[in-house]
Amino acid sequence: MKKVLLIGGGAREHVLAETIKRSPQDVHLYVFAKTRNPGIMHLSEGYEVGDVMDMEAVKAYAERVRPNFAVIGPDDPIGAGLADELLKIGVESVAPFWKGAQLESSKSYTRNLLEKYGIPGNPKFGVFEDIAEAREYGNYLASLGIQLVVKADGLMGGKGVIVQGDHFDSIDEGIEFAEASIKKFGRVVIEEKLVGQEFSLMSFADGVHTVEMPVIQDHKRAFEGDTGPNTGGMGTYSDADHLLPFLTMEDVDQARAITRMVQEALQKENDEFFKGIMYGGFIAVRDGVRLIEYNARFGDPEAMNVLPLLQSDFVEICEAMIDRSLDQVAVMFEQKATVCKYVVPNGYPGSPVKGEKLTLPELPAGVRMYYASVDQQGDDLVLCGSRAIAFVGIGDTLEEAERLAESAASAVQGPVFYRKDIGTHALIQKRVDMMKEIRAA
Ligand code: AMP
Ligand code: GLY
């Protein structure tokens, strides 16, 4: 029997729990999470409620469990060095150490790494500790007719990036945000706004080898038609051929090559192997592919698109990431399309309702349901304020997958909303048309 310790209690961790338990091996699952996720509780042999940022508490639980390895879901504990802490008590993690996790936790680290090792994919960018220099660079980009993106240089729970034209208009507004970032983190990144279509490419990484998962597109804006504030992601889709309708094979090859080069650069830079998930947020632009950012963990919702399609033994893949033997395992994904729609509390993300009850539908065949920011209180399922429940439709085509996810999401009762347009032909066609247009110009 093997024991796996899973850290985190959202929908991403729910699908991780499910995928760990689908292993053909005899696996017992132990979980450390902030809330009582009913889906994960049902799958686990042990469940401890606590703060995932309290390293001593996590370590104490790990000492009791003595797992074969740990899987860390969320970015915050990874960025704070939980993998380093667990190793001190002899527990290996599927997650990078603190140094490698800077790939996600520091925007300047990643931009500088690409530049230092001559890896393609960076936009024009500058890293500033001085606000006058930041302003000068902003004005310089503006003089070239380039719009700006300003990035706080630390983890800000998805609120650390502002884009000209989307979140602010004048350079002064951008510089004000830059000043706040310098105050908080000592640094700010100012870069060229890229125009194109974003996609997520997640790879299993062991420090030497990478193995890619199917490509996915996320929807960050809260409301239909890509309007409203940015969120953690309102839903995602992936296609049966593991590509996306607006991407070419060449685009994906470029993204894959960037990830491989970054893995190699990380090893040289840190003298340490990056193990876990390298999740590249890429953007297909007029003349190829650029890098928006890396995350050092599974995406949420992206994990729910790909892990249900995984045909191989995830526990074996985890061990291979730890042992640097990813080249020795076959990693196979089913050729199916997926659409994930998140049901979220009314008022999300700015002022979500909390504490209200939610009633879930009977699940149609072909639909998976994952619990996120909800708490099981007796017989009631209660909203906690962030994304609540994810529905994933799986089918032979995007149309079928979308119809399935939609049928479940629309049947939830409670003070909630979701985006009907995610995964629909109309929205995807808009993206295909946009790419055609910018590539023809
Ligand atoms: P992040 O919080 O780092 O995930 O960034 C949030 C979003 O900001 C990304 O998903 C992009 O939509 C946008 N973004 C970040 N950098 C750029 C860029 N250089 N050009 C255009 N959009 C960007
Ligand atoms: N889907 C966006 C993220 O996981 O960061």
Average pLDDT over residues 163-178: 94
Q: 29: closest CA among 11, 8, 50? A: 8
Question: What is the whole-number distance in angstroms between the Cα of residue 161 and the centre of ligand 1?
Answer: 6
Edge-to-edge strands, sheet with 210-212? 210-212, 197-205, 276-285, 288-295
Q: Which ligand 1 atom is nearest residue 191's CA?
A: 19
Cβ–ligand 2 contact at 280 (below 6 Å):
no
Cβ–ligand 1 contact at 163 (below 6 Å):
yes
CA distance 36 to 57: 17
Question: What is the whole-number distance in angstroms between the Cα of residue 281 and the centre of ligand 2?
Answer: 9
Nearest alpha carbon, ligand 2 atom 3? 299
Q: What is the mean pLDDT of the chain?
A: 96
Question: What is the whole-number distance in angstroms between the Cα of residue 300 and the centre of ligand 2?
Answer: 5
Cβ–ligand 2 contact at 75 (below 6 Å):
no
Residue 244 has pLDDT above 80, yes or no: yes
How distant, in Å, are the alpha carbons of 13, 20, 329 from that of 315? Answer: 14, 6, 11
C-beta of residue 385 within 8 angstroms of C-beta of residue 352? yes
Share of the chain above pLDDT 70, in %: 100
Average pLDDT over residues 157-179: 90
Share of the chain above pLDDT 90, in %: 94
Question: What is the whole-number distance in angstroms between the Cα of residue 301 and the centre of ligand 2?
Answer: 6
Cβ–ligand 1 contact at 315 (below 6 Å):
no
Cβ–ligand 2 contact at 218 (below 6 Å):
yes
Give the tens place of pLDDT for each residue, 27-86. 999 999 998 999 999 999 999 999 999 999 999 999 999 999 999 999 999 999 999 999
pLDDT value of residue 157:
65
Structural domains present in the chain: 2-95 (3.40.50.20), 124-192 (3.30.1490.20), 197-428 (3.30.470.20)
CA distance 147 to 91: 46
Average pLDDT over residues 282-310: 97
Q: Which ligand is nearest to the CA of 156?
A: 1
pLDDT value of residue 376:
86
Nearest alpha carbon, ligand 2 atom 4? 299
Question: What is the whole-number distance in angstroms between the Cα of residue 167 and the centre of ligand 1?
Answer: 11
Residue 360 has pLDDT above 70, yes or no: yes
CA distance 303 to 71: 13
Nearest alpha carbon, ligand 1 atom 7? 161
Q: Which ligand 2 atom is nearest residue 236's CA?
A: 1
Average pLDDT over residues 380-387: 94
Tell me the two tokens of residue 159.
Answer: 């609120």
Nearest alpha carbon, ligand 1 atom 9? 292
pLDDT value of residue 441:
83
CA distance 400 to 392: 11
Cβ–ligand 1 contact at 161 (below 6 Å):
yes
Cβ–ligand 1 contact at 103 (below 6 Å):
no
Residue 119 has pLDDT above 90, yes or no: yes
Average pLDDT over residues 225-238: 94
Residue 331 has pLDDT above 90, yes or no: yes
Beta-carbon contacts of 181 under 8 Å, excluding residues fewer than 6 positions away, are 150, 151, 152, 153, 154, 160, 187, 188
pLDDT value of residue 154:
77
SS3 (DSSP) at 116: helix
Q: Which ligand is nearest to the CA of 123?
A: 1
pLDDT value of residue 158:
64
Question: What is the whole-number distance in angstroms between the Cα of residue 10 and the centre of ligand 2?
Answer: 12
Average pLDDT over residues 261-267: 98
C-beta of residue 122 within 8 angstroms of C-beta of residue 109? no
CA distance 183 to 186: 6
Q: Which ligand 1 atom is nearest residue 192's CA?
A: 19
Question: What is the whole-number distance in angstroms between the Cα of residue 65 and the centre of ligand 2?
Answer: 30
Q: Which ligand 1 atom is nearest residue 194's CA?
A: 20
| DSSP label at residue 353 | -
- Interstrand relation of 125-128 and 188-192 (parallel, antiparallel or unpaired): antiparallel
Cβ–ligand 2 contact at 295 (below 6 Å):
yes
Q: What are phi and psi of 183, to 5 degrees?
A: -60, -45
Q: Which ligand 1 atom is nearest residue 123's CA?
A: 19
- Which residue of 292, 294, 295, 431 sits with most ligand 1 atoms within 8 Å of its CB, as the best mutation to test the pocket? 292
CA distance 79 to 185: 14
- Which residue of 218, 231, 419 sits with most ligand 2 atoms within 8 Å of its CB, as the best mutation to test the pocket? 218
Instruction: Output the pTM of the full model.
Output: 0.96
Q: Which ligand 2 atom is nearest residue 158's CA?
A: 5
Q: Which ligand is nearest to the CA of 125?
A: 1
- Which residue of 161, 185, 201, 297 sits with most ligand 1 atoms within 8 Å of its CB, as the best mutation to test the pocket? 161
Cβ–ligand 1 contact at 194 (below 6 Å):
yes
Q: Which ligand 1 atom is nearest residue 160's CA?
A: 2
